[in-house]
A and B are shown apart, each in its own frame.
Chain A
Amino acid sequence: MTAYTPDALISADIHAYLDGHARKSMLRFITCGSVDDGKSTLIGRLLYDSKTIFEDQLSQLEADSKRLGTQGENIDFALLVDGLAAEREQGITIDVAYRFFATETRKFIVADTPGHEQYTRNMVTGASTADLAVILIDARKGVLTQTRRHSFLAHLIGIRHIVLAVNKMDLVDHDQARFDAIVADYADFARGIGIEAFTAIPLSGLTGANVTSASPAMPWYGGPALLPHLESVPVAVDRAAAAPFRMPVQWVNRPDLDFRGFAGTIAAGRVAPGDSVRIVPSGKTTRVARIVSFDGNRELAEAGDAVTLVLADEVDCSRGDVIAAADSPPEAANQFEATIVWLADTDLVPGRGYRLKLGTHTVGATVQPPAHVVDVNTQAHLSAKTLSLNDIGVAEVYTDAPLVFAPYADSRELGGFILIDRETNATVAAGMIHHALRRAQNVHWQSVDITREAHARQKGQQPRLLWFTGLSGSGKSTIANLVERKLHALGRHSFLLDGDNIRHGLNRDLGFSDADRIENIRRVGEVAKLMTDAGLIVLTAFISPFRAERELVRGLLPAGEFVEIFVDTPLADAEARDVKGLYAKARAGEIAHFTGISSPYEAPVSPEIQIDTRRESAEAAAERIVEHVLGIWSFEL
């Protein structure tokens, strides 16, 4: 058995060989199929035939093949790829593994996503960086449900090159009629989901037929073998370079007062010194003065290059902004329709605040209930109220700041986003923007002459939102009322929002389910924000049990204006007081979703003020809060 046999050029002219290596293009692809389809065998065969396997690895492989393999005395290529057996023993799960090989003309990274569990999540992850998908079919079985699922996901994530690898042709006597029937069957399906073109190749990973070169066993097949096809497919970088210039700003490079550059990776197009550019979303225009690099200034940079741009004018520009071709800038909006793939064990909570990261920009965002979810096996649209692990749905997404974007179909860099849970920091979803909502494009912020600063100045105060949170009966309203009285006596302008004036009016359509509680707090937050814009000191007294929503409201306000006040009363004490008799009813099962009894309360982690009601009287607490608030003012003034 021959292992690694080096390229003749290596001994003849190492410089020429390395020069060639430096100029090789890179193709990233994903293989879709299960172990049963011979996927690991095929990848192992590609590594083996492209001479990427060294002698010691080969001897290890031979030993493993005898011990664990399924191919008798022959080499089991699957073992080369699979570390899976050992990993199962240790309880380690593979989700996406990346393998590397190179030929004389191209370098390859293969994303391999074994297993059936969590398949959607893993495949979408592996496919997100791939230019091409190899969909494996067992020639004996033909197009299966999983073939349709893999193809749908590959198409969904925007892979333009689909290879239908009809494997195990040796087991159907290399029969052309069988191959043609499978291809016809697949073509019908592919057209139906919008795949415009695909390349079908009959092969055998086991025998190597049509893997690296045309097989004499299938003279009727006139197309390329798999590897030559992978070597000739155009890669995405070429396409991105032809689009208008866009560079999301990653970092402002400011080592001293004399230098200010904007660093980032060019998402699309080309740029040269002298080019007119526009900063989006601000819309300011300027020119590129220099493209700075460690090796001197550059005359040109293009998609994929990481560069630092120096601009001709002192324009406002920071991380998350996009520097773009002045005559064709991208859009900015704060409401979108998007396809969302849910990646977390905990379901989407519509209306809850998440962090959304797109390009270099992270903003607060909420997701509306999905318009529909897609059954990945049948591609049927189903109705749903939420998204669970591995669900794919279409929903509206609202962000709390304008986002510079492009439809995902045009740009993965400016159209793909992830959602991050505010509480756990987990990556919970991946999204692909379809388009901005019409109303978002048409609702421009009305520019106002009297600014929030002017409002506050007239009242002689700094606006604040004093957010009281705690269990029912903890004393939030009592303390908040005392604080407001003191502020009033000191001549401050304030307003108290509580359950009575909100639940009976603005929010009378809401109940007490988790979703309604979230919407309740969101509305309170928005109203409170408007009142702080008017210069008021706003006090709110709501249980507001979820950290994520409190953080969402904090994010609505300028830094320092949100003051979280945790009225910390143990459940036993609050229940013992039971001023309104609610705990008794909840214990009796008469009130559903009662915080502390049948619904959780997430205590603040680091509130600005914490009040232990067992140790501090309401009067003393109110005094301390007023001091805290006024203290901040005197510090700032």
Chain B
Amino acid sequence: MLYSVGKDSAVMLHLARKAFFPAKPPFPLLHVDTTWKFRAMYDLRDKAAAAAGMELIVHTNPDALAAGINPFDHGSRHTDLWKTEGLKQALKAGGYDAAFGGARRDEEKSRAKERIFSFRSASQGWDPKAQRPELWNLYNARIHRGESIRVFPLSNWTELDIWQYILDQGIEIVPLYFAAPRPTVERDGMLLMVDDDRFRLHPGEVPVERSIRFRTLGCYPLTGAVESEAATLPAVIQEMLLTTTSERQGRAIDHDQAASMEKKKREGYF
């Protein structure tokens, strides 16, 4: 199970624990790490895996590590090498025939047609023509050696469903989703959090403490925050519902072209 420590991952892990109870889910958790996540994400990751009693596999792309790839110097190569390549390496190393992911169809226009069982060739490519028709709730999980399937159990959930379920079930999520005073700088119209001393301040830039929270979580130098006072789950949901911009605006990855997700998917990002 691909576990990114975000709120969707938290829901997916919770569902798996319920589905297999009283047994433990019979698969490990896989975190494709970039070494640039928020510190609070690493804390919750280890805690959640321990609580579930599941094995946690952390993969960091050794090539990206050796090359010192970072979000300040390398722009989109950072995502390509750490995430896309890292994920491919990790899946290949594990020889997994299937991997769960937390993507939802309502997130983005190009995901609206994604299958729940998404078929990948032996080279981990996603070929739209090779996708299998999904009728009723009958999923065809048969593959040849080397091929694999990405499974998206949250496909038909909406963002509101996710939040409502987290509240209803009392699922623990990363505190960064809740507003708190945090050191920030404003850059290119985004509010970035200075999470550790690797953050490179521009000349004259001084971190300012602001009450912020995050709608999505990723690499901290690439993830925009919103100013907010919503410090509890109901307040966050309330603010989310009252706000007038959609969820993904805070993610730098989307500021490319409209079809960027589609391209990333073909390259193996999900």
Contacts and interface: CB of A to CB of B under 8 A. Distances in A.
A426 interface: yes
A569 B235 CA distance: 74
B134 interface: yes
A11 B238 CA distance: 7
Interface string A408-437: 000011001110100001110010000000
Contacts of A425: 140, 142-144
Nearest to A21: B164
Interface stretch (B80-88, B107-115, B194-202): B107-115
Interface string B141-170: 011100000000001101011001001100
Max chain A C-beta neighbours (<10 A), residue from B129, B138, B140, B167:
B138
A289 interface: no
A294 B136 contact: no
B244 A98 contact: no
Contacts of B143: 425
B177 to A, nearest CB: 16
Nearest to A89: B259
A382 interface: no
Interface stretch (A52-60, A502-510, A519-527, A620-628): A52-60
Nearest to B14: A294
Contact of B135 (A4, A98, A102, A124): A124
Contact of B242 (A6, A56, A100, A420): A6
B23 A100 contact: no
Contact of B132 (A17, A90, A294, A426): A426
A106 B218 CA distance: 33
B237 A14 contact: yes
A418 B138 contact: yes
A15 B21 contact: no
A168 to B, nearest CB: 25
A263 B19 CA distance: 8
Given A93-B128, A121-B133, A417 B138 contact: yes
B234 A83 contact: no
Interface in A5-27: 6-7, 10-11, 14-15, 17-18, 21-22
B39 to A, nearest CB: 30
A66 interface: no
Interface string B228-266: 000000110110011111100100000000110010000
B259 A90 contact: yes
Nearest to B17: A294
A368 interface: no
B166 to A, nearest CB: 11
B204 interface: no
A93 B129 contact: yes
B31 interface: no
Contacts of A98: 105, 112-113, 155-156
A21 B164 CA distance: 8
Contacts of A3: 244
Interface string A84-107: 001100101111111110100001
B228 to A, nearest CB: 15
Contacts of A306: 19
A88 B249 CA distance: 25
A96 B113 contact: yes
B244 A4 contact: yes
A462 interface: no
A416 B135 contact: yes
Contacts of B259: 83, 86-87, 90
B238 A125 contact: no
A207 interface: no
Nearest to B259: A86
Interface stretch (A185-193, A252-260, A318-326, A450-458): A252-260
A279 interface: no
A105 B235 CA distance: 22
A54 B249 CA distance: 11
Most buried by B among A86, A90, A92, A100: A100
Contact of B109 (A83, A357, A430): A83
A349 to B, nearest CB: 18
Contacts of B109: 83
Interface string B7-36: 000000000011111111000000000000
A253 B140 contact: no
Interface string B92-128: 0000000000000110011011000000000000001
Interface in A32-87: 54-57, 83, 86-87
- 5 closest cross-chain pairs (CB), A and B: A255-B23, A55-B244, A54-B246, A97-B112, A294-B18
19 contacts: A4-B244, A10-B238, A10-B242, A18-B167, A21-B160, A21-B161, A54-B243, A54-B245, A55-B245, A86-B258, A86-B259, A87-B262, A96-B113, A107-B158, A129-B136, A263-B20, A292-B22, A358-B138, A425-B143
Given A54-B246, A90-B259, A93-B128, 13 more contacts: A6-B242, A10-B242, A14-B241, A15-B234, A21-B161, A56-B249, A90-B262, A293-B18, A294-B17, A308-B21, A416-B135, A425-B140, A425-B144
